[in-house]
Amino acid sequence: MRSLCFLLFCLATMTAQATDDTLLTTAERSAFIHTARYAEALRLSEAYAARWPDAVRSFDFGTTPEGRPLRALIVSRTGVLDAKALHAQKVPVLAWQGGIHPGESDGKDAGFMVLRELLAAPAQDDPLRKIAILFIPVFNVDGHERFGKWNRPNQVGPEEMGWRTNAQNLNLNRDYMKADAPEMQAVLRLLTEWDPILYADLHVTDGADFQHDVSVQVEPIHQGAESLRAAGVAMRDAVLADLAAQGSLPLPFYPNLVEEDNPASGFSEDAYLPRFSTGYGALRNRYALLLETHSWKDYKTRVRVTANTLRALVQQTAAAGDEWLKLAEAADVEATKLGGQWIELDHDAGEHVSMIDFKGFAYTREPSAISGGLVTRYDPSTPQIWQVPYKDTIVATLTVVAPKAGYVVPAGYAAAIAERLAAHGIRFERLVAARAKQALQTFRASEATLTPSTFEGRTMLTVKGEWQDESRAVPAGSLFIPIVQPLARVVVALMEPQAPDSFLSWGFFNAAFEQKEYAEPYVAEQIASEMLAKDAALAAEFKAKLAGDKAFAASPKARLDFFYRRHASWDEQYFLVPVYRADSFKL
C-alpha cells in the first residue's frame, strides 16, 4: 500500500509537471521550505477549474472582514457540480477544510496536491466518479495574510506562515456555535447548502515532543446519534490503519498532556464541545474528522502525512459513503423525534485509567533559573517508551430533557438570535401576532457568574437554577424554534441555559442579569416597615434569617433587599433567562 500510494503520487506530480508547471504549489517548488500567500490558492483554484472544467468548479462563498474572497472548490466526475444535483443523485460529499488556523498550512498544500493527483492520473476505479470533494483551501483568509516567520514558535516549518486568528482576533475554531465571525457564518451556510457527509478539519498540534506524527479523531463516536457511532469508529480505524501502513505512528486521541509540560501526567480522551468542528458535526448528524499532524515534524513530513490522510478519506468515502448517507438520513429522522427525550450536552473523561506505552523521547525536568518552575527538555535523538496513564472513557456530565414542542425567544432578543439560527440552517418562525398568556417553562437563575475576562471577544456567563412552569404572554416578533427538525440537537445545545455553548453561555443574554431599577435606601426602609406591619409570616421569616445567617445580619443592603425582592416594585424579569420551553405551541 505504501509503495503504491507513493508511486501514484509520483506519477501525478510528473503528469502535472509535463502538462502545466503552474499547477505545482510553492511548497513543492521549494522542497517544502515555503508555503504561498493566498493569491496562489486563488490562482490554483482557477487553474484547476480551467484545466479540468468537467470535474472542477471554483467559486466564492463569502467575504472576510478585510474584504477578501472566501474560495472553495467542488471536484467530482459524477457529471454534476451543483449542490442540489449532487443531493438529488445521492452523491456523498467529502469536505476538506484547510487553514482555520493559517499557521497550520498543511491542509492547504496537501489538498491541492491530492486533488491534482486525483484529476491528472485517475485510477481505473476513479473515486471521483462516486463522490464529490468540497475543498476550502484557507478558511481564515485574513489570518493567512498576516504572514510572518515566528507566527508558530512551536512548529518546524514552513519558513513563513499565517496567524492563528482572523482580522477581528477571533479564533474561528471556537466559533461554530456562536457564529460571530463573517467567515464562520459563510462556512455554516456552505455546510447547509452542500451538506457534506464527512467534514475533515485539517490542523497541526502543539504540545510535547514525541515520535507519533499524527492523531485522528472522529465524531460521532463519543457523542451525537448513537446510530452513527459504529460506522464512525470503523472509518477512524480504517484511516489509522492506512496511515500506519504508510509508515506513520498515528494516534486515536489528541496527545494533549493532562498536566501542561509534564509527560508523566499522561493523556485523556475527549469529546469536543460543539464550538469545535468535531463536536458541531456530531450535533448535525454528520461525520467530522479532526486531523492533527505533529508540529515538531518537518513541513515535508507533515504535508505528506496530511496527503496520506486525505487519500484514505477519499477511499473510505468512495467505499462507504452511500452507507453513511443512509445512516445520516435515518439519524435526521430520529432527531425529529427527540422532543421529551434525554439529550447529552456536555462530557468529560471518565475515571477509568489504562496504562499505555507511548512512543516518546527521553526527557528531563529540572528547575529553571528563568521561570522558577520546572523546565522540560526533550532529546529527539533518543527514542523512549513512556508508560503513562490514559483516561480512556467518556461520560456525560450534563443531560437535559428536550421540550416536546420547542423554544420561544421573546421579541426583545429575537433579532440577534434569528441571525445566528439562520446561519446554522435552523428552522424557526417569527410570530406575527402577540400571544396571550400560555403555559411555558421559564428558567429563573438563582446564581449567575460572569467570567473575569473576555473569551473570544465575549464575557461568558454560567448560571444555576431550574426550569419551572409558568404562564407568560409572548409578544409579537418573538421566535418559535421547533424541536421537530433534523438539527434538533443543535437547537437544544444553543437554547438550554446551562449548555456550555448555549446563547446564554456565550453572553447573548447578559443584559437580562443587570439590575436596572432600584429603591433608594430610605424608600426601601419605608417599604420594609410597611411589609413587616402587614405580614406576620414575613416578619417571622426575617427574624429567623437574622438569627441564622450572620453575613445577612451584618449587611444593610442584604436586609433591605430581603423586602425589596418581595415587593411589587421588584423587576420580575431580573435573572429571568429570555428563552422559554414549550411542550405545546400553536403557530
Distance, CA of 395 to chain centre: 19
Q: Please name the residue ranges forming H helices in 74-165.
A: 83-88, 106-120, 141-144
Distance, CA of 145 to chain centre: 23
Q: What angle do CA 561, 566, 567 make, to 5 degrees?
A: 95
Of 398, 417, 416, give the one whose Cα is nearest residue 407. Answer: 417
Q: What is this structure's pTM?
A: 0.93
Distance CA 50, CA 43 (A): 11
DSSP state of 403: P
Of 248, 276, 254, give the one whose Cα is nearest residue 178. Answer: 276
3-state SS assignment for residue 257: strand
pLDDT at 7: 47
3-state SS assignment for residue 425: coil
Of 163, 152, 159, give the one whose Cα is nearest residue 66. Answer: 163
- What phi, psi does 97 have (nearest 5°)? -115, 115
Is the torsion defined by CA of 298, 303, 306, 311 positive or negative?
negative
Domains defined for the chain, CATH in brackets: 2-337 (3.40.630.10), 355-396 (no CATH), 401-513+577-582 (no CATH), 521-564 (no CATH)
Longest dimension (CA), the chain: 97
Q: What is the pLDDT along the chain (587 residues), one digit of tens a residue?
A: 444 444 444 544 444 444 478 899 999 999 999 999 999 999 999 999 999 999 999 999 999 999 999 999 999 999 999 999 999 999 999 999 999 999 999 999 999 999 999 999 887 899 999 999 999 999 999 999 999 999 999 999 999 999 999 999 999 999 999 999 999 999 999 999 999 999 999 999 988 999 999 999 999 999 999 999 999 999 999 999 999 999 999 999 999 999 999 999 999 999 999 999 999 999 999 999 999 999 999 999 999 999 999 999 999 999 999 999 999 999 999 999 999 999 999 999 999 999 999 999 999 999 999 999 999 999 999 999 999 999 999 999 999 999 999 999 999 999 999 999 999 999 999 999 999 999 999 999 999 999 999 999 999 999 999 999 999 999 999 999 999 999 999 999 999 999 999 999 999 999 999 999 888 999 989 999 999 999 999 999 999 999 999 999 999 999 998 988 888 888 889 999 999 999 999 87
